Structure formats: C-alpha cells, structure tokens
Structure 1
Amino acid sequence: MYTIRKLSSGQEFLNFSDIAANAYPGFKIQTSEEKKAFVENSMKAQTESPIVKFYGVFKNENLYGGMRFHDFKMNLLSAKIKVGGVGLIAVDILHKKEKVAKAIVTEFINHYKNKGASMVALYPFRPDFYKKMGFGFGTSMNQYKVKPCNLPKGNSKSNIIFAKEADINKLLECYTRMYEKTNGLIEKYERDFMLLLKNPRARVIAFKKQDQIQGYMSFEFKSGSEKSTMINDIIVNDLVFENVEALKEIMTFLNSQSDQIRYVVFNVQDEDFRFLLEDPRNDSDHLFTPVYHECSIQGTGIMYRVINIPALLNKLKDHNFNNESCRLKITVRDSFIEDNDGSITVDFKDGMSTISTEADYDVEIALDIADFSSLITCAVNFKSLYKYGRATISKEEYIDKVNNIFSSCSKPICMTIF
C-alpha cells in the first residue's frame, strides 16, 4: 500500500516540513524562514551525520508521512549493542487514521532488524499507542524545582569553567567514560557537543582539573514571570559528574546564583536525587495523604522494544546475571513480531547465560513483549511485574531468584534526545 524510502531531494524535505509543521505546531516550523531552516538543518544532518537518516512514506509518489532514523550504540548491562531510534514521526493531517503511523513503526522495526539490531527505542507522543505495539516503559523522569539556597554549598568552585569549542574533545571523553559504565547511555560523538555549544540558548559549565573535564552541566535561562524581567530560572538539561568533588563544585556554582535565580529546575532519572537537597520541596506547597510534601513531578518518556530476543540474549552472554544458576523458560507474547512470539529457554550458570536447546527447565515466566523489554533493560524488576499481574511464574519459590537475574544496581539512563 505504501512505499517507504529515504528522502533525497530538497523538495521532498520541504514537503516533509509542511507535514511536520502541522503534526507539531509547537516546533516552530510555521513561517517560510522556519521551514527553510528546518530543511537546511535536516539535509545537513543527513549528509554530515553517519547515524541520522530521514525517511518518507509515499503513495503514488505523494508524501503521506515521514520520520528520522538514528543508528545508535547503547550500553545495555555493559554490553555495547546496536539500537535503532526513531524521531519526528509525522503523518499528514489529511491522512490520519489511514494506518500511516503503523506503516512507519513497522518499517522502523524491520529496518533495524535487517541491520542486525536487537532493540529499538523511541520517545512516545502517546505511551498507550506504542505499548500496544510492544514498546515498554523506560526509567521515569523526575523534575525538581529547587531554590538555589537549598543546593549544597561547598568550599570552592575554583575548577568551574565555561566550556568552549576547544573543550569539545574533553567533554566527549568525560561523557564516554560515563557511557562505558552506565546502563542505558547512548554513545555520543564530537558533533553532539559541537551542536550543544553552538546552541545560542545553551550554557555549558565544566569541572576541569589537571586538564581533564570530570563533570559538566548544560543549562539555559528561562523567564520566571511575565511581569518582571528580573525573575528567572535555570533549567538544567544535562548533569554529568564522575566524582563527588565535581558534583560539589557544580552545586556550589548553582548555589551562588541565588541573588538572581528564583529556581533551579532539574530533570533527572535518579530516584535518589532528593537526598542531595536540603529542602526537596517544589513551589507547589502541595501536601497530600496526609503529610507528604510534593517534591517533584514524574513523567514517563523513553520506551524500549526488543525486536530479536535470541540475538539480544547472545549479546548479553558476557554479562553476569548476579551469579544466579537456573534454567529459565521465558514465554513472551508478541503479536507484532512473529519470531519473538513464543518461548525460549536460557541456562544461567553462576550468572553466565546460554540459550538452551534442552526441553526441560526449572521454572517458566510468561509476560508481554513490552514488559519483557522493560525487564531486560532493568527499568523494572520481576517482582513488580508479578505483583501487578503483568507477569506470571510457574513456581513461586523461584521469584527471588528470577528477580535477582533481572536486577541491576542502575535503571537505564538515557541522556540523548531524538
């Protein structure tokens, strides 16, 4: 019914800009100048970036929709795996409810399965839409709104600098060291930091010591009141630190802004972030059930989907699943990818896993592909899925063992917007 192929001409990109403008009115692709900038930036990204490509959905050579593919590499439980990302999914408003979005997602999955990826990811415009297609929830985002005076104040901020283009390689080296040891992080490149530093709204400070950047923070200013230009907030977009010293100096820098900044807004995926704060309450003064102070608002965002279960398990063969030993049968329901629908038996011995061809097993679990995708990334543990009726187990005495197999000290963290 539809033909899907890479966008190749300026006219096709211009047609896509019209579709994107109507699909995302808030993206500021409305005027001819904005559309021109969108086309130029999109074509430049496709030409210069080895990991970004734009695709269109055509019918009789008419563009009905489009999307942007990203060839990512992600750290999943210390294994570096190929992950496909999709962004800017847009459907012509004249052709809504004609299964264009389904065609996009189907092509997205098949495209990356053919490229040898075992997992894909996206940010959902509607989580329920993508969950029905087998995408599972990732780690939640927590937004804290903190007065600068309630951030820890150290003895020094003497190692804090404004990062410049000359620091790009050192910023990348800092992020890469964190990428190597952080579950869920996606590999970044020089171009990512070049674009960050060229963003006129962004500010980047860094903790630089002995000619090495050991932490950095990107942020922007936002007006806090329509009535006064003197009331402003700081929005923290990225916060990366390798040690406590770097964190303390970054926090001291923020604390010192209290004379001009009303709130510092943090968007973090760390559930324990509130323990850093002297007073974690936000500006709502909301008290509930019966004496709990509102500290943050929480949102669900990135979603993961396993598109090739055996391939993913083979990628994780060197991961230690917490020294557990068990022959586990995993039955997954997947109505979207036939190859995923069914059972696979994994033999865990002292934490190391191999796919078993034996018919016997110690215990069986059964769950939907969306929940399995969240489980294998450690965004959720097995006990929670079982408690809420999202998974079953054939022998309850194995719950702790199965839970430990799929446990990690860190939920997946994603700092890449796409």
Structure 2
Amino acid sequence: MIRLVTKSDLEQAASLIAMAYPGMQISDEEDKKGFIERLTLEIESENNLKYYGLFKEQNELVGVYKLHDLKGNVNGKIVRIWGIGTVAVHFFHKKEGVAKQLLQHFHELARQEGVGIVSLYPFNTSFYQKMGYGYGPTRYQYKLKPASFPNSGDRKKVVMLSPANEEEIVAVYNNFVSMHHGMIERTWHERTLIKKKHSYYAGVYEGNELIGALAYALQPLQDSHFLHHHMNILEWVWTKPSAFIDLCTWIHSQQDQVDRVYVRMHDESLIYQFDDPRNDSIRLIPSVYHEIGTVGTGIMYRISSIESFVQQTNFNSLDRPETPVTISLFVRDSFIPEQNGSYKLTFGENCWSIEKSFNPAEEVDLSITISDLSSWWMGCVSMEKLVQYGKVEVNNWPAKQLDRWFMPPTKPVCLTSF
C-alpha cells in the first residue's frame, strides 16, 4: 500500500533514507534526531511538499518519495510542474520493484491532478529513461579567474543582502522565472534557506527595485593560507543586463582574496562574456581546444499527460500555422500504458488540440518515444537532430517546420534542486 507518510512514520523514514543515501551522513542518533525534526517541519508546514511511502505487512516502510508541487515557466506560460525527489528504497528490499511502484504512483497522482509535465534529478539516467523521462538541458561548470570577469560596470552599486531582504530576493527571482523557459518559482525550502542565511547574498538595485541577486559561498583553498578562497556561486539571477555587468565588476574586484570563481549555468554562451574562459586544468582537447569547463546532464522531464500538456501550454508564443493543420503521431509509452498509441494533433482557430486516434504506427506522420517527445517539447533537443541521428522518422512534414511549431527556441533553465 502506498499512502502519505505521517508523523508516526518518520523514524522509519529517517532510517530508510539514511541507508539509501549514506552521503547525507545521518550516522548517529543525534544526526537522526535532527533529520526527523527536519522531516517533521516539512510535513507539518504549509508548503509544496508531500511524502509518500510504500508499506508492507505490519506497517513496514520499504520505500519513500517526496512530491514537489511546483509552478514553472514552460515557454512563457506558468503551469504546474511536479518534481519527484528523495526516492529511497529500503536497503534489504532492493530488486523487488519498489522504485517502479513509487514512480507509477507518482505518475498516477499527476494524471489525476491534470499535471502535464513532471521532472526529477536522476541517480541513474538510463533507469529513468526506461520509465519515459527525457534528458533535460546540459549544465556547464566554469572555474574562472576573477580578473576574467567584465570590469565595465559599477561595483559600488552592489550591496550585501540579508534575510531581511527575503521578499525582494524572491521577487527578483520570480521575475527571472517569468523571463526564462524552464525556471521554477521560488519554493518554500528555498525561502527557508534565505531565512537561515545558508549563503551570502549580493544584490543590485535600480531605484528601490532589486534587479539582480547573487548567492555565493567562500571555500578555503586547499594547501593555501586562510585568506585564499574559491567563490562558489550558488544562484545568479538578474532582470536587466546592467545588474549582470555590475555584479561581474564586483566579482572582478575580489582578486586579492578569490582564486577561482565556480559558475554553473545552462548557457554555453556565457564564455563569450569573459576575457579568459579557461579553467585551471591546462588540458587540451585535440587539436588545440583549451578546456573551459565540465558539463553534466541532470534534470529530466516526462510528459505525464499528453492531453493536459497540450491544453495547458498550447505551445505558447511559438509560430502558428497559417491554415488549419492536422498531424498524426504515435507515442510509444510502455510505463504509462494509457498514453501509448496514436494521437491526432489539430490546429484551428489559433489553438492546438489533441485527441486519441486509432491509426497504426506505420501510417502516422511521426512515431516517437515519450522520452524523446518530452525532451523535444521542452526544447532540449530539436526534431531536426532527432531525425538526423536516426531516432525519429518524420513523414509528410519537414522537421524544421515541426520545430517552429512545437519546440521552444531556448533550452530550459532550472536552478531549483529537489
């Protein structure tokens, strides 16, 4: 049975999660007590979080997950985006299909609530791709010298922020969300981190309005003196270019104390803003390409309800056909059988609609897996590239035309962890 985790279940939940995630270092009773207090706060607060557990006989908890009910920007439209995190299976109940049951429950709840898109951060990308999750945007980690940052702004406009500025930090963050596809609105947990002063914050004002904010931590440089640090930028948002330049100039001025600045962004064009984007590896990629950073894949997306996704997003702000259009597609989804099959996607009266149909796979315009469809409709990969690499075959329509109608022009940006 899968049900909501209650306060009486938290000792079991804490032990299970501690075994599943040893990196959390919940190693003794004091650590466990602190973790139970955290879980208690989460389930008793008004927030976007819920814990669900899979219970066996005698109320034994063998698996748990955390549901995040989020609001995010899908190509300019704010919709519900659910996230699943802390998927934990009891150490002595692995290979019993527990994780599969938890994911099935999560997807069923999403469909009941009419949530069209769900997401997660994978511990194993291939495991979740088999469950229909498509790869999200790549994230780049740069290690830059402070002197490489632009120095054309006004560092004196940069001020230190504190928990007293929480509402302003949330406001500029959510303004950034409204401007960037993929971003998720500020969460209860992130507000808690601001209140607890989890990091330092620097900000830029224009008049009385905060137009840029940067969260950072300073980490001592190994084998160096106590005044030598790396700066780890945890979050960086701005609503006007001048705020970005002023914050860059402020970072530029930290050369006496900061050796390298860690910047993590989805935007590979960031390197064009710096005098020297090279990291500290001195490695070359043949023939002569200097290493500038590392890249990783993380957040994955899954369309949990094709009909809800089309209805809620309606491919907002993308090109529209000039005349009525009908496209037949076949979606292969083995994990949510109700979604497997043919669809008729129709444009008319300046609106897209979709309904199930009965065309066989070999007679449709487009046959695609749910994972590739999710990545495509979230703007992570183009139909042109899916066709080029032989993953998808398109009939009757040019791939470029389909991209103009259904693919956001920018890849999603997501700074929210869950």
* TM-score interval for Structure 1 and Structure 2 normalised by the shorter chain: over 0.9
Once the 2 structures are TM-superposed, how far is the Cα of residue 316 of structure 1 from its aligned partner?
2.2
Q: Which amino acid aligns with 1:17?
A: A
User: Is the Cα contact below 8 Å between 1:82 and 1:116 reproduced in 2?
Assistant: no
Aligned partner of 2:86 in structure 1 is: 88
Q: Which amino acid aligns with 2:121?
A: Y
User: Is the Cα contact below 8 Å between 2:131 and 2:335 reproduced in 1?
Assistant: yes
Once the 2 structures are TM-superposed, how far is the Cα of residue 206 of structure 1 from its aligned partner?
1.0
2:319 pairs with 1:322:
yes
User: Is the Cα contact below 8 Å between 2:341 and 2:356 reproduced in 1?
Assistant: no
Once the 2 structures are TM-superposed, how far is the Cα of residue 158 of structure 1 from its aligned partner?
2.0
Question: What percent of counterpart residues are identical?
Answer: 28
2:411 pairs with 1:411:
yes
User: Is the Cα contact below 8 Å between 1:176 and 1:188 reproduced in 2?
Assistant: yes
Separation in 2 of the partners of 1:236 and 1:91? 33
Once the 2 structures are TM-superposed, how far is the Cα of residue 195 of structure 1 from its aligned partner?
2.0
2:28 pairs with 1:65:
no
Q: Which amino acid aligns with 2:19?
A: N
Aligned partner of 1:32 in structure 2 is: 29
Moved more, 188-197 or 153-162: 188-197
2:15 pairs with 1:18:
yes
Aligned partner of 1:125 in structure 2 is: 123
Q: Which amino acid aligns with 2:244?
A: L
The CA deviation string for residues 57-109 of structure 1, in whole angstroms up to 9 with x for no partner, is 11111111211111111211222222221111111111111111111111111
The CA deviation string for residues 271-326 of structure 1, in whole angstroms up to 9 with x for no partner, is 21111111111111111121111111100000010011011111123724313354
Separation in 2 of the partners of 1:103 and 1:153? 54
User: Is the Cα contact below 8 Å between 2:203 and 2:214 reproduced in 1?
Assistant: yes
Once the 2 structures are TM-superposed, how far is the Cα of residue 349 of structure 1 from its aligned partner?
5.3
- When residues 191 and 121 of structure 1 are mapped into structure 2, their CA distance, relative to the original with a 3 A threshold, is closer
- When residues 350 and 218 of structure 1 are mapped into structure 2, their CA distance, relative to the original with a 3 A threshold, is farther
Separation in 2 of the partners of 1:191 and 1:127? 25
- When residues 116 and 323 of structure 1 are mapped into structure 2, their CA distance, relative to the original with a 3 A threshold, is closer
Separation in 1 of the partners of 2:188 and 2:213? 15
Q: Which amino acid aligns with 1:138?
A: G
Aligned partner of 1:392 in structure 2 is: 393
2:237 pairs with 1:236:
no
2:367 pairs with 1:370:
no
2:77 pairs with 1:79:
yes
Query: 1:301-316 alignment to 2 at 5 Å?
Result: 301-316=298-313
Moved more, 17-26 or 399-408: 399-408
Separation in 2 of the partners of 1:210 and 1:384? 46
- When residues 331 and 153 of structure 1 are mapped into structure 2, their CA distance, relative to the original with a 3 A threshold, is same
2:38 pairs with 1:41:
yes
Moved more, 310-319 or 166-175: 310-319
* Unpaired runs of at least 5, structure 1: none
User: Is the Cα contact below 8 Å between 1:327 and 1:363 reproduced in 2?
Assistant: no
Aligned partner of 1:381 in structure 2 is: 382
2:266 pairs with 1:265:
no
Separation in 1 of the partners of 2:98 and 2:62? 7
SS at structure 1 position matched to 2:415: coil
Moved more, 153-162 or 287-296: 153-162
Moved more, 228-237 or 317-326: 317-326
Aligned partner of 2:402 in structure 1 is: 402
User: Is the Cα contact below 8 Å between 1:381 and 1:406 reproduced in 2?
Assistant: no
User: Is the Cα contact below 8 Å between 1:146 and 1:265 reproduced in 2?
Assistant: yes
Moved more, 311-320 or 131-140: 311-320
The CA deviation string for residues 355-405 of structure 1, in whole angstroms up to 9 with x for no partner, is 368999x9711111001001111111111111122211013x622211222
2:281 to 284, 291, 295: 284
Q: Which amino acid aligns with 2:278?
A: R
The CA deviation string for residues 200-242 of structure 1, in whole angstroms up to 9 with x for no partner, is 4x11111122111101011111232145434320111111011
SS at structure 1 position matched to 2:2: strand
SS at structure 2 position matched to 1:408: coil
2:296 pairs with 1:295:
no
User: Is the Cα contact below 8 Å between 1:320 and 1:351 reproduced in 2?
Assistant: no
Aligned partner of 2:148 in structure 1 is: 150
SS at structure 2 position matched to 1:158: helix
SS at structure 2 position matched to 1:282: coil
TM-score norm. by structure 1 comes to: 0.93
The CA deviation string for residues 27-74 of structure 1, in whole angstroms up to 9 with x for no partner, is 121122221111111110121133101121111111112111111112
SS at structure 2 position matched to 1:106: helix
TM-score norm. by structure 2 comes to: 0.93
2:242 to 233, 238, 245: 245
SS at structure 2 position matched to 1:93: coil
The CA deviation string for residues 91-138 of structure 1, in whole angstroms up to 9 with x for no partner, is 111111111111111111112211221111100000000000000011
The CA deviation string for residues 162-191 of structure 1, in whole angstroms up to 9 with x for no partner, is 112221111111112222232111122566
Moved more, 339-348 or 306-315: 339-348
